[in-house]
A and B are shown apart, each in its own frame.
Chain A
Amino acid sequence: MNERKYISVYFDDEKYLIQAVKKLNESNETILDAQTPFPVHGLDGLLSMKRSRIPVGGFILGFVGAFLAFIFQAWVFTVSYPLIIGGKPFFSVPTFVPITFEVTVLFAGVSMVFALLIRSNLKPEYRFEPLNDRITDDMFVVLIDSTGEKTTIEKIKSTLSGIQTIEIR
């Protein structure tokens, strides 16, 4: 038991989870993580999570994509191989817009998905074992840091006494 660095508390409804997290915050416990079958609203703030910067990454990469696409088309039509098409100007910005837009979206989208996979450490793994088989089904769990001397199961039990839990261990 001492080897474990956390205490897990199981619930069967998200409203108990929210109540418990509030209580635990009041008694200054460190919550390592909460695992839920679906995104529980309001949990982000209670766990004092910072807003993800994935959109910023997407914006930057989208900008890079736009830049590359536009510059490439302009270079092809003015420097590399200027081609007379119906007597139109070589550097015709409007016709570069569609491809520039598509490449922007491609870069932004792909980069955000990869950012999600990398940041959340999502990768194909054969050996992965979930904490509990029911977390992806109907169970909610809060993991509390128990490395400190003061955090014991008894103390957590008394803190959460009024809240309906399935199991505390």
Chain B
Amino acid sequence: MRSKDGIRFGLITFGIILYLDLLGLPLTSGNSVTVIFAFLIGLFSLLFLRNRPGQTRTRSSTIVNGLLIGAISGVGLMSVTYFFASLQADGVRVNQVFAQILPENTGALTGLSKAQVLDGANIWPGLFKIGLAFMLAGFLGGSATLLFTEGTGGRVQRLGGSSVGHYVVLALPLLFFGLFMLLKVEGVQLGGADENILGLLFVFLFISASLFAFRDTRPGIERKVISLLLLALIIILPQLTDLFQNAVLSAVVIFVVMGLGLNIVVGYAGLLDLGYVAFFGIGAYTFGLLSAPESYILVNLPAFGGVTFWSGLPIAILAGVITGVLLGIPVLRMRGDYLAIVTLGFGEIIRLLFLNLRDYTGGPGGVLNIPAPIVFGIDLGNPKGIFYLGMIFSSIVAFVTIRLRDSRLGRSWIALREDEDVAQAMGLNLVVIKLLAFATGAAFAAAAGALYASRQVNIFPDNFTLLVSIDVLSLIIIGGLGSIEGVILGSIALIGLPEILRSVNEYRIVAFGALLVVMMILRPEGLLPSARRQRELRGEGIAEQPTSSE
């Protein structure tokens, strides 16, 4: 392990901490949690480093790298905080939203009040304290990775390659679940944090750690036990979370369903679709118009309307599939950039239709009072119910994805992505393969749309802007193209985390951008990549064979 890696991961850690900082993490949960995050990120980045096959590792280099990670992220955070604080003290208005958050964040990080920061109080003692805390966290993170391997200087094949490390990875989700439960105990306070938000963070960490733990299980009895245990915890989770947390988590699962659909179109078939929101909108509007009491269909054609969620869902999915095929046909011959532009236009056209076909869609007034799904007389029209339904949807969609991925169709999609001409010359019917990709992706999005309509009760054209397409695309790239677990992790990172501080929601796009750039440079395969993608981009340590020129 070279110190170059330590610096790289130090920068990643700094990026992520800054991201959380901009979202107001110190403000909402106190600086101790920020330091805990530094520790965890340091820990995970060292695990990632060791995870690379053929990586040799010594005791001292691990500790040095841990220190580097802590030092770089700590000094980085110190500098940025100091920079903003001095700007504030000089009376420079950075930005209306940041101007409100930054002094409070700075204060929270350095143990001063907002007024003191604005008065230009000396923040150096506080800064040094947090910098030292980061160094210590990185050092402890680095040292902790030592526990995860047997002996020193050995080669490590995978995350938690040794028995100790393996079980630590398996135990992490339980640890976070425990922390989440701890918050529910009366009188327990963690770093003066807002309990709702800290609880949500622990839930996110629990789910994320579960994904890693599941991937690290060995096939057989161990995998069965761990997955059953995690499954049980996830099933009871919505009973334990509060209204706010369930609302956020239900949004996350809806984006998981959509992400899995786009994953097929972009991740497998390699068709860059920037108008994916159209199918989401079609699903939502189809169900909305068929079920909302004042919609055009119910008022004018009562014979066709008044559907329940369960009879409306298949119709919404069918409508999605049909529009998917209709979009697919004209773009069959297009590739890459051209395809992206045309699909982008398509997405906008659909939104503008919702907006301008006033008589049918209600125009800007939207579709109101969409009914909730009801199962055996239980009304699921609340965050908890939608969260449960979303989990079921995600499971079904993930199942379909896995089955298709491992079939001849999945292979054909990847061949299409690799080389379209040769794929056709191998006898693949490109028309059928592309349309199946578009239709499958559209079906998933339409199902997500129907669920979304039910969750929102009222839907408007503004719910279906280009930004949604970009969000979905970003989350599958950040999670790792082609990876199902990656989609879940990406949804948590891009949809869940920003909800923690709703007031800067508009500005999360800034942080997204930065995060995307950093991610693409340092970890192009995503946070939790599919095995295939990891091999593609990391070359699996086998030297490239010289291909002689002709």
Binding partners A and B: no
Interface residues of B (CB under 8 A from A): none
Interface residues of A (CB under 8 A from B): none
